[in-house]
Chain A
Amino acid sequence: MELKDFQNRDIAPGYIFFDGEKKPQNGWESFKRVVKRSVKGELFVGLWIVFREMIRFDIHTVQYPIEKIEMSPRYRAIHRLLRLLESENERCIGCGLCEKICIANCIRMETRLDENKRKEVTKYSINFGRCIFCGYCAEVCPELAIVHGNDYENASEQRAHFGLKEDMLTPIDTFRAKQQKEFSGFGALSDNADENIKKTPLAY
């Protein structure tokens, strides 16, 4: 590569420059242009295209309250707090990283040491009125405890409803019925995460 190539800032080469139609110079040419524009089949192409779409009947309307679009797993809607698979405890270890990283300052948690000197989360709330759903909290969480769900219908009449821990945490009944879905979206482990584990170099 030469310097010339670097200086060429045209990142998409191959533009076709079009100077526009030539203006008619005399009466005969403008007459020809009128005839060309009037008789050209463009109008009928337009008619055909809308008619084809009608015949094809490929309707894109989603009748929202009745039908819903399936959200992508990467969609970042209301957070979910997951439980540990065996002990049924909350996965959250109270590290406070999500609270720290939250750029909207909407996560608040209170922790204490319980009788076994283990850290325990006593209160956890996300102010969804303020949350911008950036996904940093889910990304930073070391335990995959806080993840994003797909529940985007979060209108409420009271601000107090925005961010109750009970709404986010997997209910214990759901969990026991093995209905807790492992998160497959933003910040989740890949499907083949187990295969990719390698022993640290110190071990061998």
Chain B
Amino acid sequence: MTHSTGETTDHKPGIEMPKPTVWPMVLALAITLIAAAAALGAWAFAVIGGLLFVVSFCGWMGALLPGRGHESEPLTHPLPTTITGRTGTVEHLQPGMTGYRFRLPEKVHPISAGLKGGVVGGIVMTFPALAWGVLSGHGLWFPVNLLAGLALPSVDDLSVPELEQFRMGLFLIGLVIHVVMSATIGLIYGVMLPTIPGAVKWQIIIGGIVLPLVWTGVSHGMMGIANPVLQHYVDWFWFAISQLIFGLAAAIVVVRSEKIAVMPAGSGTAGERA
């Protein structure tokens, strides 16, 4: 940072600043009085407010005339403390130093791996879900229509025979929910699994078994609020199977993908030494 002159010139004793004026306050008061007159039906307020409006407006405009609205502010105030440089106080993190990359891995799976995992998981988990629909006697479209209830409260009002039919609107909404959730969770897997320490098997165990079971448990607790119709009809055994198959498929796809190196740190300031 350097300093340069603003409006200040070397020939004037001070800095030109706007002159204090009462007119903005009076104009605000005038407008408020007019508003109060409208609220209360007290028209005397309107008369006073109107007069103040005219006077303050003219006064304000007068301050805009050349040479009227500004004054020279003398430079009598003390100068700020001069900022001095402190060389050698910045430390760059370098490879091999404690804290370099912190706990972030130097190689990660590409974003596409997470997406692929989500897509594959999303495809394979439909098989147990649809199988449950068929085996329970409700048909293929029952689980799809139930899923749409996550976004559409009106699904609550449909009878079981109606939920068993193909309904284009519910199908499209269910499809969007399924694709978005699968892709999102796949992306989370892509980012998260490489950060799990230990062998690859732990990534598969956590991503393929632990997380789906946690997710199923949370769903079991919350589904009554989020999607009451699904809560009412769902079979939690089949629900858990679907989640496990998703998790296993997504985790396997992610951990099998080739890792790519991340741009190393070291360009830019990491922090101050003290």
Q: Do A and B bind each other?
A: no
